[in-house]
Amino acid sequence: MDYRVLGLSVLFGFTDGCILFLVSIGLSLCFGLMRIISLDQCGYYALGAYITYNFSLLTGNFWIALIISSMFIAILGLIVEYIIFKNVYAKPLTFTMIISFGTLLLITGIIKYIWGLNPLPVDIPLKGSLFMFGVEISIYRLFVVVITFLIYSLLYFFLEKTIVGKAIRASIEDIEEVQALGINGYQLFTITFVISCVLSGLGGALKAPLIMVQPYMGYEVLLYMFITAVLGGLGSLKGTMLAAIIIGVTMSIGSVVWAPSTIVVPFVAFIVVLLIKPTGLFGSKLLKR
Amino acid sequence: MNNIIKYYWQPIIIVILLIVAHFFIPLSFLIEVMLFSIFVMGCNFLLGYGGLLSFGQPLYLGVGLYATALYLTYIGQNPIVGIVMGIFVGLLFGFIIGSIIVHLRSDYFALANAALNVIGFFMIHDILADITNGLDGLWFLTRITPISILSLSIDLSNMYHFFIFTIIIFFMVLILTSYIMKSVFGSICLACINNEDKVRFLGYSVFKVKLIAFIYATLLSALAGSMYAISFGFVCPTMMGQEKAGEIVATTLLGGVGTLLGPIIGSIIIVATKDLASNIIEHWEVLMGILLILVVLKGERGIVGIVNDLYKIEILRKFKNNKGD
The complex scores an ipTM of 0.80
Predicted pLDDT of residue A238: 85
Residue A285: per-residue pLDDT: 52
Q: For position A289, what pLDDT does the model report? A: 39
User: pLDDT, tens digit, for every residue of B260-276?
Assistant: 888 999 999 888 888 88
In a domain, B321, yes or no: no
Element (H, E) at B41: helix B27-49
Tens of pLDDT, residue by residue over B56-78, are 899 999 999 999 998 988 887 88
Q: What pLDDT band is residue B118 in, cutting at 50, 70 and 90?
A: confident
Q: How far is B239 from chain A (nearest CA, A)?
A: 18
Cα Rg of chain A, angstroms: 19
* Section B16-27 average pLDDT: 86
Tell me if B291 is assigned to some domain.
Answer: no
Locate the chain B residue with the closest alpha carbon to A229: B108
Give B195→chain A minimum CA distance, Å.
13
Closest to B140 (Cα-Cα) out of B62, B14, B228, B53: B228
Nearest CA in chain B to A116: B282
Indicate whether B252 belongs to any domain. no
Q: With 60 as the cut, is the pLDDT of residue B97 above it?
A: yes
A42, HSE (Cβ side, Cα atoms, 13 Å): 24
- Name residue B108's amino acid: Y
> If pLDDT is split at 50, 70 and 90, which confidence band does B213 have?
very high
For residue B36, name the pLDDT band (cuts at 50, 70, 90).
Answer: very high
Nearest to B66 by CA among B158, B150, B128: B128
Q: Which of B110, B122, B289 sits opposite A263 (nearest CB)?
A: B122
| Helix segments in chain A, DSSP class H | 3-34, 41-59, 62-83, 93-115, 139-160, 163-173, 175-180, 185-207, 217-232, 237-257, 261-276
Whether B162 is covered by a domain: the verdict is: yes
Q: How many CB pairs under 8 A join A and B?
A: 116
Within-domain flag for B230: yes
Cβ(A189)–Cβ(A35) below 8 Å: no
User: What pTM was computed for the model?
Assistant: 0.85
Other beta carbons less than 10 A from residue A144's beta carbon: 23
Backbone angles phi, psi at A148, to 5 degrees: -65, -40
Question: So what's the pLDDT on residue B324?
Answer: 60
In terms of residue numbers, what domain contains B192? 2-242
| Distance between A94 CA and the closest CA of chain B, angstroms | 7
Region of B53 (left: φ > 0; alpha: ψ -120 to 50; beta: rest) is beta
Q: Is residue B49 part of a domain?
A: yes
* Inter-chain residue contact A102 with B293, CB threshold 8 Å: yes
pLDDT of residue A286: 46
Q: How many domains does chain B have?
A: 1
Contact yes or no for B118 and A223 at CB 8 A: yes
Residue B309 included in any domain? no
Distance from CA of B106 to the nearest CA of A (A): 7
As a whole number of Å, the end-to-end CA separation of chain B is 37
pLDDT less than 50: residues of chain A? 286-289
The amino acid present at A224, given as its one-letter code, is Y
B265 in a domain, yes or no? Answer: no
Write out chain A residues lying below 8 Å of B54, CB-based. none
Q: In this predicted structure, what is the pLDDT of residue A263?
A: 73
CB distance A271–B111 less than 8 Å? no
* β-bridge mates for residue A135, sequence order: A132
Cβ-Cβ contacts under 8 Å, B110 against chain A: 94, 97
Subunit contact B249:A107, Cβ cutoff 8 A: no
User: Are B289 and A107 in contact (CB < 8 Å)?
Assistant: yes
Return the pLDDT at A194.
92
Q: List b or e across B40-74, with b for residues whose CB sees 16 or more CB atoms inside 10 angstroms.
A: bbbbbbbbbbbbbbbbbbbbbbbbbbbbbbbbbbe
**A90-to-A169, A182, B257, B307 alpha-carbon distances in Å:** 19, 19, 19, 25
Average pLDDT of chain B?
A: 86
Dihedral of CA A135/A139/A141/A143: which sign? positive
- Longest Cα pair distance anywhere in chain B, in angstroms? 77
> H/E element holding B149?
strand B147-149
